[in-house]
Amino acid sequence: MNKIVIAIDGYSSCGKSTMAKQLAKELNYVFIDSGAMYRAITLYFLRNNINLNDSAVVENALQHIQLQFAYNIAEGKSDMLLNNENVEAAIRSMDVSNNVSAVAALEAVRTFAVAQQQQMGKAKGIVMDGRDIGTTVFPDAELKIFVTADVDTRVQRRLKELHDKGNTDISFEEVKQNLLSRDYIDSTRAISPLRKADDAVLLDNTNLTREEQLNIVLNLVMERASGK
Ligand code: DC
């Protein structure tokens, strides 16, 4: 079967990464969580008090950032490295979540991240999830999926993920506000806003189990990889 490029986009916490990770495992493809790159850049900016309104400062800071993915066998996915430091846990904090959409809206940041993402897709056999993968990063991807789910379902899933990681002092409302605010900034920003590509398949997974969702997407992959 031909190796293809699979672009998965959608709102915050609607299970894009879970789906992309499962799919990559089934197909023996590379999985890239593009949001982790924006989160790592945000972590660097927060640690170094970078003023987002000063484009020269932002450009200079980006020159000091090296992003890499390192495969974590136990997790079955890659961890994000920021200048050789494993920041996989740090980039999931509420502090990063509350600031990442503003950072990801900056043109210099997007140019920096998109160039690296496009490089990773050159060999095909990749599943990348994010907000602009089907529209900007891989507009020619053979399969594009736009995932969505009911907002309260997304909040419950995100809360469970945070609780499982020992983050128990965050309320439903706090998580909901963060998701809604990120959805708003991500879909209204000037550069590469979150939107469904015209040729993307819309998948609402509110009432789907992970297995049902995986089967739907695997069938789509079979079709596209055989050129249908
Ligand atoms: O997928 P995530 O929630 O970890 O992404 C974090 C933020 O990064 C999200 O709120 C918007 C931004 N992002 C983006 O602008 N473009 C992408 N391709 C991926 C993420």
The two tokens of residue 102 are: 């503003």
Query: Cα(223) to centroid of ligand 1, in Å?
Result: 28
Kindly give the interhelix angle for 107-120 and 34-47, rounded to the nearest 10 degrees: 140
- Following CA atoms 112, 113, 115, 118 in sequence, which dihedral angle do they give, to the nearest 10 degrees? 180
CB of 182 closer than 6 angstroms to any ligand 1 atom? yes
Q: Which of 12, 33, 38, 195 to mutate to test the pocket of ligand 1 (most atoms within 8 A of CB)?
A: 38
Domain ranges (residues) in the chain: 5-225
Q: What is the pLDDT of residue 162?
A: 86
Distance CA 193, CA 71 (A): 29
- In CATH, which superfamily holds the domain spanning 5-225? P-loop containing nucleotide triphosphate hydrolases (3.40.50.300)
Kindly give the interhelix angle for 16-27 and 210-225, rounded to the nearest 10 degrees: 50
Other CB atoms within 10 A of residue 32 CB: 25
Q: Which of 186, 194, 195 to mutate to test the pocket of ligand 1 (most atoms within 8 A of CB)?
A: 186
Query: Cα(104) to centroid of ligand 1, in Å?
Result: 7
pLDDT tens-digit profile, the chain (228 residues) = 789 999 999 999 999 988 999 999 999 999 999 999 999 999 999 999 999 999 999 999 999 999 999 988 887 788 999 999 999 999 999 899 999 999 999 999 999 999 999 999 999 999 999 999 999 999 999 999 999 999 999 999 999 988 888 888 899 999 999 999 999 999 999 999 999 999 999 999 999 999 999 999 999 999 998 876
Distance CA 153, CA 132 (A): 23
Q: Could you give the 3-state DSSP secondary structure of residue 99?
A: helix
CB 192 within 8 A of CB 136: yes
Nearest Cα residue to atom 2 of ligand 1: 35
Q: What is the pLDDT of residue 45?
A: 98
